[in-house]
Amino acid sequence: MWRIVARQSLATQRFYHATARREILPLVGVATVFVLGRYSYKAWKRMDEEWEDYQWQLRQYEKQMLQNTEAETTTKTIAIDLGSIYTKLATNYPKPEVIATREGDRHFFNGIVYKDGVVEAQGRSAMEKFSYSPSSAVTLPWNVISSSSSDPEQAAKIVEDVLGLALDETLDRIGYNPESTSTALRSVVTVPAVYLRSDVYSAAFANVATTFLPEPVAAVWGAQWKSLLPTEEGRVGRTTLVVDVGGKSMALSMVQKDVVLSSITLPWGGERWIEIMVDLLRKESSEPLEDERSLTALQTHARMALAELSAKSRADIHVHYLFADPTKHHLDTSISRSVLEKAIKDDVKEYLVQAAQTESALSPHMPPPTDLSSLFTSSLTQLLEFSQKTPMNVDHILLLGGAARAPVIASSLGSALYALMGAEFSQKLVVPDNTLLPELTVLGASTMLPTYTYAIDEGLVRLPYP
């Protein structure tokens, strides 16, 4: 009997290990800490994103309010676009507008002539002496700032001398007197994206209290102000490809949420075409024409002819009293757009392709460029790789810059964009009219919100309250 009972008790006995309470409690504690920590991290991350989204939406709202009202603010902004050849200035009151000179020009020539360390000529008088020759007496700030061997103090002095007259005239035209007004004055200087992390500009503007703003960001703001681009919405923000064709260079930049993701610079622009035009005119002459006076005269007429060819197929050129021959004092000739474009294409092959390779502006995954269109394709591919974007990620394409008036730029860029995006690019491409092309950047800089400063990696940052 007792054997049967023993067998039954063995049958109901549990054959598994029971963990002691003192061993399992630490595991429960660790699991609880892990769950709470993970939840807290997600909550913190979400709060941080929502705060950034709120700040972003607030900036867009303030921009919209500033655009819709013309009430006087407590801060007046002077925007300065120090280009390679011309300086453009704009103010934000009563609304963003470019400041014209007393002569009616909407830009100031950057060149300056020194004699014994003293300014002898600047503005139009310096422009009349300017030519691309080693013996030219005109100094350009861009050549000093962009040189790696330049002296920061020298750069600061040249910039101060160039801007001094322009700023004095601007303050006079807007009626600003620091002794009779409580309105603060702030200057915003646009900077090429390649110099964002360089101390070149900060040294050049050491004597001017200013906020530095990337040129591509200012261009996007200018396009938004003119309703060429929509105002940003949402946390992610739109991605805008900015193609800025200036006097000395072309800059390709990717902008998102007021920050430059990446930028590529090609050392080739409108001033290169001026030199090409001068060479074409010299070939039409029976004399060498190497003296300073002749080169200055040819360059002046080359600028006028290049502007004329942006709208016409042929430009007539008349340079008076160019030759000493009494039977033929003047140069009378004409240049067709097709001749100029062929010379530009030759220059792309002979100069620009090699220069772009030196600047690492071409994609290593693309074949070597053979023309301007294929060069744009390779450079844009490189820019997309640097930005970690695909062509489908680009929401808008903005073309600007004074040299963008040339038809060869629009056609070559269009061919490159078609190769990368297909026919969809035409819906994304924004090209301002000719008057806005060189002014969009400085107009955008003048719209910078008065209660913000700018940080390279963050974009607009609200100033602390006093």
Domain residue spans of the chain: 69-222+439-466, 229-267+363-431, 271-346
Q: Is the dihedral of CA 111, 113, 119, 124 positive or negative?
A: negative
pLDDT digit string, tens, across residues 291-341: 788 888 888 889 999 888 888 899 999 988 877 766 677 888 999 999 998
Q: Closest by alpha carbon to 369, among 338, 412, 337?
A: 412
Per-residue pLDDT for 422 more than 60? yes
Angle among Cα 130, 134, 139 to the nearest 5 degrees reads 45
8 Å CB contact between 88 and 106 = yes
pLDDT digit string, tens, across residues 197-207: 666 667 666 65
Average pLDDT, the chain: 82
Q: Going edge to edge, which strands form the sheet with 259-266?
A: 259-266, 250-256, 239-245, 396-400, 429-430
Q: 103: which residues sit within 8 A by CB, 6+ positions away?
A: 124
pLDDT digit string, tens, across residues 342-356: 999 899 988 998 888
Share of the chain above pLDDT 90, in %: 30
Per-residue pLDDT for 10 more than 60? no
Q: How confident is the model at residue 415 (pLDDT cuts 50, 70, 90)?
A: very high
Share of the chain above pLDDT 70, in %: 81
pLDDT of 2? 45
Among 115-124, 228-237, 362-371, 405-414, which stretch is predicted with the lowest mean pLDDT?
Answer: 228-237
pLDDT of 5? 47
Per-residue pLDDT, averaged over 93-121, amounts to 86
Per-residue pLDDT for 257 more than 80? yes
8 Å CB contact between 279 and 272 = no
Per-residue pLDDT for 196 more than 80? no
Per-residue pLDDT, averaged over 360-384, amounts to 92
Cβ burial 18-50 (10 Å sphere, 16+ → b, else e): eeeeeeeeeeeeeeeeeeeeeeeeeeeeeeeee
351 versus 232: the higher-pLDDT residue is 351
> What is the model's pTM?
0.82
Q: How confident is the model at residue 50 (pLDDT cuts 50, 70, 90)?
A: low
**Greatest mean pLDDT among 42-46, 111-115, 160-164, 397-401:** 397-401
Per-residue pLDDT, averaged over 409-422, amounts to 93
* Half-sphere CA count of 298, side-chain side, radius 13 A: 27
pLDDT of 155? 76
Per-residue pLDDT, averaged over 416-424, amounts to 93
Per-residue pLDDT, averaged over 254-271, amounts to 92
pLDDT of 383? 95
- The listed CATH number (2.60.40.10, 3.40.50.970, 3.90.640.10, 3.40.50.300) that belongs to domain 271-346: 3.90.640.10
442 versus 328: the higher-pLDDT residue is 442
pLDDT of 401? 94
pLDDT of 130? 85
Per-residue pLDDT, averaged over 42-63, amounts to 68
Per-residue pLDDT, averaged over 414-422, amounts to 94
pLDDT of 161? 83
Helix 292-309, helix 270-283: angle, nearest 10: 110
121 versus 328: the higher-pLDDT residue is 121
CATH class of residue range 69-222+439-466: alpha beta
Q: How confident is the model at residue 437 (pLDDT cuts 50, 70, 90)?
A: very high
Per-residue pLDDT, averaged over 210-216, amounts to 90
Per-residue pLDDT for 51 more than 50? yes
**Greatest mean pLDDT among 121-125, 190-194, 370-374:** 370-374
Per-residue pLDDT, averaged over 406-412, amounts to 91
Q: 244: which residues sit within 8 A by CB, 6+ positions away?
A: 215, 216, 219, 250, 251, 253, 400, 401, 404, 441
Cβ burial 248-257 (10 Å sphere, 16+ → b, else e): bbbbbbbbbb
Asked whether the domain spanning 271-346 has the same topology as the one spanning 229-267+363-431, the reply is no
277 versus 94: the higher-pLDDT residue is 277
Per-residue pLDDT for 55 more than 80? no
d(CA 329, CA 183): 57
* Alpha-carbon distance values, 18 to 14, 28, 30, 31, 68 (Å): 10, 16, 20, 20, 74
pLDDT digit string, tens, across residues 270-296: 999 999 999 999 888 777 777 788 888
* Half-sphere CA count of 353, side-chain side, radius 13 A: 18
pLDDT of 192? 86
Cβ burial 134-172 (10 Å sphere, 16+ → b, else e): eebbbbbbbbbbbeeebeeeebbbbbbbbbeebbebbbe
Q: 368: which residues sit within 8 A by CB, 6+ positions away?
A: 353, 362
Q: How confident is the model at residue 395 (pLDDT cuts 50, 70, 90)?
A: very high
Helix 337-347, helix 292-309: angle, nearest 10: 110
131 versus 2: the higher-pLDDT residue is 131
CATH superfamily, domain 229-267+363-431, is ATPase, nucleotide binding domain (3.30.420.40)
Per-residue pLDDT for 49 more than 90? no
